[in-house]
Amino acid sequence: MRNVLITTFVRKLIVRVLTPHNIAVFASGAGSNTRELLQHFSSHPSVNIRLVVSNKPDAGVLQVAKEFKIPTLVNADLAFYESNCIGEMLAEQEVEFIVLAGFLLKVPDSLVAQYNGKMINIHPALLPKFGGKGMYGNRVHSAVKEQQESETGITIHFVNEHYDEGQVIFQASCPVLPTDTVEDIKRKVQDLEHAHFAKVVEKVVTGGL
Ligand code: GRF
């Protein structure tokens, strides 16, 4: 009996680790998180970053994707993301998860529904604080400083139809000192992002979370 249980457990583990999973990363900025993701998954046995999607033709993330020889899709038009076209294209490419790594457009409800529980975002603060429409980049860190917070951090969460309100998967925090500038806060938060994002994505995608 014990042997049967162990064999079943090992079999499930092997299936979980080796089932191929394709990810599309959506990003609008410099791409430092995308770089971490690409590095982390570059020789992964079962997780592939299939595509980098951007709404900004001049985003640094496109250069990062090029360095890693990952195909890119650039479209600045919100209507494109709202159309069925993107969802169909991702399905055709067997994309199972979407990871938002600094994507500044609101993802339309149709795509959120298609990737329900399979779309992950990273936010540079401890949600529910400092989230919502218009809260991105240095606006978040400036607000943290203005409100004299003693800590901030990162939130990795599933995406639902409301800005920054999906189920939290992971949070990590760092202290904010009264002497910290907005740039200092940004750097501390970025360090947390780079340390945790890819590992958490891996756990979600391979079924470990
Ligand atoms: C990160 O701070 C992330 O939390 C936010 O957008 C920023 C993207 O930075 N959602 P980068 O383009 O990955 O350097």
| DSSP one-letter string for the chain | -HHHHHHHHHHHHHHHHHS-EEEEEE--S--HHHHHHHHHHTT-SSEEEEEEEES-TT-HHHHHHHHTT--EEE---HHHHHSHHHHHHHHHTT--EEEESS--SPPPHHHHHHTTT-EEEEESS-TTTT-STT--HHHHHHHHHHTT-SEEEEEEEE--SSTT-SPEEEEEEEE--TT--HHHHHHHHHHHHHHHHHHHHHHHHTT--
**Average confidence score pLDDT of the chain:** 94
pLDDT at 15 over 80: no
- pLDDT for 10 equals 73
Distance (Å) from CA 12 to ligand 1 centroid: 35
Distance (Å) from CA 80 to ligand 1 centroid: 22
> Ligand 1 within 6 A of 120 CB?
no
Question: Which of the listed residues 25, 32, 64, 164 should we mutate to test ligand 1's pocket, taking the one with most ligand atoms within 8 A of CB?
Answer: 32
Ligand 1 atom at minimum distance from 140 CA? 2
Write out pLDDT tens, residues 48-105: 999 999 999 999 999 999 999 999 999 999 889 888 899 999 999 999 999 999 999 9
Residues annotated as part of the active site = 123
Distance (Å) from CA 29 to ligand 1 centroid: 7
Question: Which of the listed residues 28, 193, 196, 201 should we mutate to test ligand 1's pocket, taking the one with most ligand atoms within 8 A of CB?
Answer: 193
Write out pLDDT tens, residues 112-155: 999 999 999 999 999 999 999 999 999 999 999 999 999 999 99
CA–CA separation, 205 vs 6, rounded Å?
24
Write out pLDDT tens, residues 47-60: 999 999 999 999 99
Q: Residue 200 in contact with residue 169, Cβ under 8 Å?
A: yes
